[in-house]
A and B are shown apart, each in its own frame.
Chain A
Amino acid sequence: MSDTVQDNVRDRMVAILAEQAVLEPGDIRMDATLEDLGIDSLGLVEAIFAIEEAFEVQVPFNANEPAESEFDISTVASMVRAVENLIAAQK
């Protein structure tokens, strides 16, 4: 994946999470957790829907066991990486 595509994924992910957290994109740190951002389980489900719509991917995520889903939600960075992997897997 080229650097520009990666930047693009990161920026769009930050925008999605910022909207859900009601924060400015500039306030979203890459090492922030969902808890840091104040995104609860319902907010996460909504964010994942937005991710699927934005990147046209299927995110493997079950709200019953968020920590055990293949989709790593531990930090903003881990979610960006997971989305990059999903996009790469489609190609």
Chain B
Amino acid sequence: MHRVVITGQGAINALGRSAGETMQAMREGRSGIGALDFQDVERLSIAIGGQIRDYLPEAHFSRQELTLYDKFTQFALLAAAEAVAMSGLEIGEELSERAGVVLGTSGGGLQTQDENYRLVYQEGKNRVHPFVVPRLMNNAAASHVSMVHNLQGPSYTVATACASSNHAMGQAFNLIRSGQARVVLTGGSESMLCFGGIKAWEGLRVMSRDGCRPFSKTRNGMVQGEGAAVFVFEELEHARARGAEILAEVTGFAMTSDASDIVTPNKLGAVRAMRGALRDAGLAPEAIGYINAHGTGTSANDRTECAAVRETFGPAADALMISSTKSMHGHVIGGTGAIELIACLMALRDGVIAPTINYEEPDPDCDLDVVPNTARERPVRAAMSNAFAFGGLNAVLVLTAFG
């Protein structure tokens, strides 16, 4: 089996326009959550989110490109360009056939759907733009990334709701491990902050009106965000041969299904996923210094996740740090695991643990070290990233410091 390392990262989200800006905000424990701003927002009862402020598509893309790029595609392309530039990778003809892209998304081109449904249903128009379908399709972002970077190997999109990015990165990991690809751009992208996107979530009554407070006794629901993060996953020998800077090694991945309930989380499914990822990485529970939690800020998720961590890690649960960066960037649904992997890389490379902000009051059901409110400096050799989706689909990654 081939070893897999990360040689580039890129991001755009409410915390920043790059992976570097995102890490800086996480170090400072800054919130990217504020008042939502889009058409018909006044008809929503949920008025806050992790929206990317003052984002101007025209500043990044030509008019011709924008006719084909939904916002989720734009975010993916911006993050991918940053990741590829950082990696220093040159994708020539030979490598191109062994290079691919696997991205997670849940809503795909939801903004495009929302705008065009509004046109035909609300405004009564009988004609839509000819590119509505290629803009809205869930694989649009992966396809455009493949075109821009000439990736001619395996490329596809994974949609498993809130676990999409982690499932995608796990697929990328296995493609390289098995020798089917040498380089895979991977991560996820989501742009659900539009009237229809939030209206649908309102219905489920799990959204908070006033803030995202994971693990705090005062938490009352999730807050949504938007954005993307993309990483360059590369076969170790390939990265070494070209003298690439290695950010971390991807050492473990596991996925499980609760097979129980469509929305209520299940501790056993989460436990099996975390145990599976540890086994895959060949690590004992004590080896994990930091877990980036799924940590949505709903009462059910946080309670269940903490119980699952206790069961998986046993006494080692009291030694590790676990935080939810959703408190800062919001829940980016199909892109969230990718943005959260940046916190894992920061922990492994810089020894800085991103905090869980908005933490107000301890909850006996969440009695782990959740790194409340302030980032912490502590060296970490191995980190875990959790994603537990609606539908009971779980995906957990383990990264290890390299060198």
Instruction: Evaluate contact between B298 and A64: CB separation under 8 angstroms.
Output: yes
Instruction: Evaluate contact between B220 and A42: CB separation under 8 angstroms.
Output: no
B-side contacts of A41, CB under 8 Å: 264
Most buried by B among A42, A48, A61: A42
Residue in A closest to B263 when the chains form the complex, CB atoms: A42
Residue in B closest to A45 when the chains form the complex, CB atoms: B205
**Is residue B219 within 8 Å, beta carbon to beta carbon, of the partner chain?**
yes
A-side contacts of B45, CB under 8 Å: 58
Mask for A32-58, Cβ within 8 A of B = 1, else 0? 000000000110010011000000001
Residue in A closest to B203 when the chains form the complex, CB atoms: A49
A11 CA to B262 CA in the complex, in Å? 31
A-side contacts of B263, CB under 8 Å: 42
**Is residue B147 within 8 Å, beta carbon to beta carbon, of the partner chain?**
no
**Is residue B206 within 8 Å, beta carbon to beta carbon, of the partner chain?**
yes
With A62-B221, A64-B221 known to touch, is A45 a contact of B204 (CB < 8 Å)? yes
**Is residue B299 within 8 Å, beta carbon to beta carbon, of the partner chain?**
yes
A42 CA to B391 CA in the complex, in Å? 13
Classify chain B: how many residues form its interface, as a range. Answer: 10 to 19
Most buried by B among A42, A62, A64, A65: A64
Instruction: Evaluate contact between B264 and A63: CB separation under 8 angstroms.
Output: no
Instruction: Evaluate contact between B221 and A42: CB separation under 8 angstroms.
Output: no
Q: Would you list which residues of chain B between 226 and 256 have a CB under 8 Å from chain A?
A: none
A63 CA to B298 CA in the complex, in Å? 9
A39 to chain B, nearest CB (A): 14
Instruction: Evaluate contact between A63 and B205: CB separation under 8 angstroms.
Output: yes
A42 CA to B45 CA in the complex, in Å? 20
Instruction: Evaluate contact between B219 and A64: CB separation under 8 angstroms.
Output: yes
Residue in A closest to B205 when the chains form the complex, CB atoms: A63
A-side contacts of B203, CB under 8 Å: 45, 49
B-side contacts of A61, CB under 8 Å: 205
B207 to chain A, nearest CB (A): 8
A-side contacts of B264, CB under 8 Å: 41-42
B212 to chain A, nearest CB (A): 12
B-side contacts of A64, CB under 8 Å: 206, 208, 219-221, 298-300
Mask for B186-211, Cβ within 8 A of A = 1, else 0? 00000000000000000111101000
Known: A42-B263, A63-B206, A63-B298. 9 other contacts (CB 8 A): A45-B203, A62-B205, A62-B206, A62-B221, A63-B204, A63-B205, A64-B219, A65-B220, A65-B299
Name 24 interchain pairs, CB-CB below 8 A, sorted by A. Answer: A41-B264, A42-B261, A42-B262, A42-B263, A42-B264, A45-B203, A45-B204, A45-B205, A48-B205, A62-B205, A62-B206, A62-B208, A62-B221, A63-B204, A63-B205, A63-B206, A64-B206, A64-B208, A64-B219, A64-B220, A64-B299, A64-B300, A65-B220, A65-B299
